Amino acid sequence: MYCCCCWATLAVSLARAGETGGLAGRTWRIDTEHLFGFVIGTDVGEVGDKEMEAEVVGGVGKRPGSYTALFPSLEYEFVPVSNLRLAPTVVAAYHNISGVPDLDDRRQFALGGVSFDARYRLLDRSQWGLGLTLNAEPHVGFVDETSGQWVDSYGADFALALDRELVSDRVVAALNLLYQPETSRLHTRGAWVRDATAGIGAGLMTQVAPGVLIGAEGRYLRKYEGIGLDNFAGQALFVGPTLYARLNGRLWMIAAWSTQAAGRAISSSGALDLTNFTRHQAKIQFGLEF
């Protein structure tokens, strides 16, 4: 309840700021390219669009002990042809771990890896009433996201995204189907391991002022040992609020927070899966169009 109140207060403040900046009375067409937090929309921008995006995604909380993992990133996005968005990204990794079973204590900041995101829109929501986009993001990692150990990691994040405006330029909903296979080799062990995450995510956003939207997201994720989804390791349900704000004509921001509402790990008997996932996840992102 406290978090929701903070989100609402921030949304009202940004709405008033938008009015001061001259956005009052204008119609802001909903663009789902960067609208959600952990869920993605189907819009990809117009030909010639270019953006720089700075983002921090993090996870906090494992039991017992203290656990924080943050992943700042910098992304350059461009649209070379109609319906295709490309974006190379550089990611850093910060880990602060103490007293967590099966994880070494460490406080470390390092280069986490690089990725290349490609989104292709199959259906334009403005023409078909329903948007449909395919997303593929291959990546190379140098640091294990959970433990912070040095690794050679290769994987990809695949998503099928759908969205629809339930109320024109007012309320929009999105649905994602996710599959994220990865293979990695810890430098300390030398052996290669394979795992995958699969799941479904959904989000709903409402425009409360021109360029200011608030809403909620939910994601159900399943972890597997092996990329063939044949050895189930755990599951988690994340829910939480999301805020989008257009700060001026070229600058926007996203803030999202999710908590693990339910979960279970095969390797432990706890009510939540804090082996494969964290207790809380958060994201803040700023984008500059030019």
What whole-number distance in Å separates Cα of residue 103 and Cα of residue 147? 6
**Structural contact between residues 38 and 217, judged by C-beta atoms closer than 8 angstroms:** yes
3-class DSSP string for 13-67: HHHHHHHHCCCCCCCCCCCCCCCCCCCCCCCCCCCCCEEEEEEEEEEECCCCCEE
Which domain, by its residues, includes 85?
2-289
φ and ψ at residue 116, rounded to 5 degrees: -140, 110
Average pLDDT over residues 114-122: 98
**Structural contact between residues 163 and 39, judged by C-beta atoms closer than 8 angstroms:** no
> DSSP code of 274?
T
**Structural contact between residues 277 and 269, judged by C-beta atoms closer than 8 angstroms:** no
**Structural contact between residues 32 and 239, judged by C-beta atoms closer than 8 angstroms:** no
pLDDT for 190 equals 84
CATH code for the domain in which residue 168 is found: 2.40.160.40
pTM: 0.89
Which has the minimum average pLDDT: 2-6, 180-184, 219-223, 265-269?
2-6
Hey, what are 238's tokens? Answer: 């994340």
3-state secondary structure of 124: coil
Average pLDDT over residues 172-193: 94
193 by Cβ neighbours in 10 Å (0-12 / 13-18 / 19+) ranks as middle
What whole-number distance in Å separates Cα of residue 97 and Cα of residue 108? 9
| Reported confidence tier of residue 106, pLDDT bands at 50, 70, 90 | very high
pLDDT for 269 equals 78
As for how many domains the chain has, the answer is 1
Average pLDDT over residues 151-167: 98
pLDDT for 133 equals 98
Give 17-70 pLDDT, tens digit per residue: 444 444 444 557 899 999 999 999 999 999 999 999 999 999 999 988 999 999
Average pLDDT over residues 95-123: 97
What whole-number distance in Å separates Cα of residue 136 and Cα of residue 282? 22
246 by Cβ neighbours in 10 Å (0-12 / 13-18 / 19+) ranks as buried
What whole-number distance in Å separates Cα of residue 20 and Cα of residue 13? 11
Largest Cα–Cα distance of the chain, in whole Å?
61
| Reported confidence tier of residue 109, pLDDT bands at 50, 70, 90 | very high
Among candidates 248, 255, 256, 254, which has minimal Cα distance to 290?
248
Residue that wins the pLDDT comparison between 72 and 17: 72
C-alpha to C-alpha distances, 135 to 74, 109, 174, nearest whole angstrom: 19, 29, 14
> Cα-Cα-Cα-Cα dihedral of 92, 97, 102, 104, to 10°?
80
pLDDT for 20 equals 44
Residue that wins the pLDDT comparison between 15 and 186: 186
Residue that wins the pLDDT comparison between 192 and 28: 192
Examine the pLDDT at 203 and tell me if it is beyond 80: yes
